């Protein structure tokens, strides 16, 4: 398509779920090199995340449910990007709810995002011969065990497809199957980013996500709640590192098309909580409550492929990343803690 379709100034890139945590950071990054179409229905995200981007002529927000067939020609606001003539060159599909506290209420949204949302965005990629990156998840590997907690892309994993989380965990596996099938049938340049836990500014507050809840509670001198016990561990990758990996993945011509993205450093959440208490000079304590359905044990990514083929490693240290996230929470906790829909 790049050789057949004129690119008048910059490539056109579509980001679904573009007002979400990852999506908004991705849109911001892509504006350095592309015209960005941000598509989101705002059902589980915050318009404030992209408020600072609306001023740029190379950015356009479209409120739309990507679970419906997508016809970009129906949006007159995209005329300035000459989409009718140039089409789109890249699609990043990130739209999918990831809310621990509201997971039960968003099950159908998760199911749709990992099925009909996949088909509608993949069909669009076929129509425009666009390159495609899907934001998958480390959950496709299933829970780690004592003997196997370091996951490579070749690991198939085991997931309970009938569990209360099946619409998300098995959904992501089906979504990957969709990408692979479109590669096989249509020759689509489709890639899969298996993203491990990522954190940073613009994560939703009061939503059961450990780090933002830790920070807000610490700032308010309230107990920091861990949903589980003191053995809970996971890796943490700062958001700009994750976004950098996704952009590199889109550009790569590697023979591999599935990549782990995350940090190789495994951390005890109780230690992270205590570090946040220290960094915020809080009088809070750490307490433990029953696990949430959406929160599960996760393994460590093997990053050999990402290092060798993408030339990528996470660069932001935990302390630096936490400080940026704390600073953002201090500046935005009141505004962002009230309402996430418009």
pLDDT above 50: residue 338: no
**pTM exceeds cut of 0.75:** yes
Supply the pLDDT for residue 292.
Answer: 67
User: Model confidence over 13-66: pLDDT tens digits?
Assistant: 999 999 999 999 999 999 999 999 999 999 888 899 999 999 999 999 999 999
* Angle, helix 210-219 to helix 318-336, in steps of 10 degrees: 70
Supply the pLDDT for residue 64.
Answer: 96
For the chain, what is the radius of gyration of the CA atoms? 20
Supply the pLDDT for residue 8.
Answer: 67
Cα 24 from chain centre: 10
Supply the pLDDT for residue 40.
Answer: 96
Supply the pLDDT for residue 231.
Answer: 84
The segment with the largest mean pLDDT, out of 138-152, 218-232, 310-324, is: 310-324
Cβ atoms of 26 and 47 within 8 Å: the answer is no
Annotated catalytic residue 168: yes
Pairing, β 266-268 against β 233-235: antiparallel
Which residues neighbour 271 within 8 Å (Cβ) at sequence distance 6 or greater?
none
Supply the pLDDT for residue 233.
Answer: 85
CA torsion sign, 5 to 10 to 15 to 19? negative
Supply the pLDDT for residue 226.
Answer: 87
Supply the pLDDT for residue 296.
Answer: 64
Q: What is the mean pLDDT of the chain?
A: 89
Indicate the burial class of 334 (C-beta count within 10 angstroms; 0-12, 13-18, 19 or more). Answer: exposed
11-202+236-264+294-316: CATH, from 3.40.50.300, 3.40.50.720, 3.40.190.100, 3.20.20.70: 3.40.50.720
Q: Which position among 128, 141, 168, 182 bears the catalytic label? A: 168
Supply the pLDDT for residue 43.
Answer: 85
Supply the pLDDT for residue 190.
Answer: 98
Rounded to an integer, the average pLDDT of 117-122 is 96
Percent of the chain with pLDDT over 90: 69
331 band by pLDDT with thresholds 50, 70 and 90: confident
Percent of the chain with pLDDT over 70: 91
Structure-block tokens of residue 5:
């379709």
Q: Which residue has the tokens 């570090």?
A: 275
Supply the pLDDT for residue 215.
Answer: 95
Supply the pLDDT for residue 109.
Answer: 87
pLDDT above 60: residue 78: yes
- Mapped to the 3 state alphabet, what secondary structure does the chain carry? CCCCCCCCCCEEEEEECCCCHHHHHHHHHHCCCEEEEEEECCCCCCHHHHHHHCCCCCEEEEECCCCCCCCHHHCHHHHHHCHHHHCCCEEEECCCCCCCCCCHHHHHHHHHHCCHHHHHHHHHHHHHCCEEEEEEEHHHHCCCCCCCCEECCCCCCCCCCCCCCHHHHHHHHHHHHHHHHHHHHHCCCEEEEEECCEECCCCCCCCCCHHHHHHHHHHCCCCEEEECCCCCEEECEEHHHHHHHHHHHHHCCCCCCEEEECCCCEEEHHHHHHHHHHHCCCCCCEEEECCCCCCCCCCEECCHHHHHHHCCCCCCCHHHHHHHHHHHHHHHHHHHCCCCCC
User: Model confidence over 247-272: pLDDT tens digits?
Assistant: 999 999 999 999 999 999 999 999 99
Q: Which residue has the tokens 């782990």?
A: 260
Supply the pLDDT for residue 248.
Answer: 98
Cα–Cα distance for residue pair 209/35, rounded to 1 Å: 31
Cβ atoms of 299 and 172 within 8 Å: the answer is no
User: Model confidence over 96-108: pLDDT tens digits?
Assistant: 987 666 677 778 9
The segment with the largest mean pLDDT, out of 121-135, 136-150, 194-208, is: 121-135
User: Model confidence over 147-197: pLDDT tens digits?
Assistant: 777 888 998 878 888 887 888 889 999 999 999 999 999 999 999 999 999
Supply the pLDDT for residue 99.
Answer: 66
pLDDT above 80: residue 2: no
Supply the pLDDT for residue 299.
Answer: 86
């Amino acid at each position: 398509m790049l050789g057949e379709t004129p690119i008048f100034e910059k490539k056109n890139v579509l980001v679904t779920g573009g007002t979400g945590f990852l999506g908004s950071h991705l849109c911001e990054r892509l504006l350095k090199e592309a015209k960005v179409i941000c598509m989101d229905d705002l059902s589980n995200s915050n318009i404030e995340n992209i408020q600072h981007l609306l001023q740029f002529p190379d950015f356009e927000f479209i409120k739309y449910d990507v679970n419906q067939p997508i016809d970009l020609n129906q949006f007159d606001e995209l005329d300035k990007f000459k989409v009718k003539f140039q089409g789109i060159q890249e699609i990043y599909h990130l739209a999918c709810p990831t809310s621990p506290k509201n997971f039960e209420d968003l099950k159908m949204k998760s199911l749709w995002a990992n099925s009909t949302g996949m088909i509608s965005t993949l069909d669009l990629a076929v129509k425009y011969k666009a390159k495609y990156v899907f934001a998958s998840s480390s959950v496709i590997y299933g829970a780690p065990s004592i003997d196997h907690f370091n996951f490579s892309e070749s690991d198939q994993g085991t997931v309970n497809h009938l569990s209360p989380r099946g619409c998300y965990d098995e959904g992501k596996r089906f979504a990957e199957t969709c990408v692979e099938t479109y590669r096989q049938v249509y020759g689509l340049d489709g890639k899969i980013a298996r993203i491990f836990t990522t954190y940073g500014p613009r994560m939703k507050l009061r939503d059961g996500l450990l780090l933002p809840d830790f920070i807000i509670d610490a700032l308010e001198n309230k107990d920091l709640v861990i949903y589980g016990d003191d053995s809970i561990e996971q890796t943490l990758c700062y958001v700009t590192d994750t976004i950098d990996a996704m952009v590199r993945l889109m550009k790569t011509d590697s023979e591999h098309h599935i990549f782990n993205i995350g940090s190789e450093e495994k951390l005890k959440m109780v230690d992270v909580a205590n570090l946040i208490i220290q960094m915020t000079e809080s009088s809070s304590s750490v307490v433990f409550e029953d696990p949430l359905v959406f929160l599960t044990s996760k393994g460590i990514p093997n990053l050999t492929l990402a290092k060798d083929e993408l030339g990528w490693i996470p660069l932001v240290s935990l302390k630096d990343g936490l400080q940026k996230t704390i600073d953002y929470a201090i500046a935005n906790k009141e505004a962002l803690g009230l309402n996430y829909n418009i």
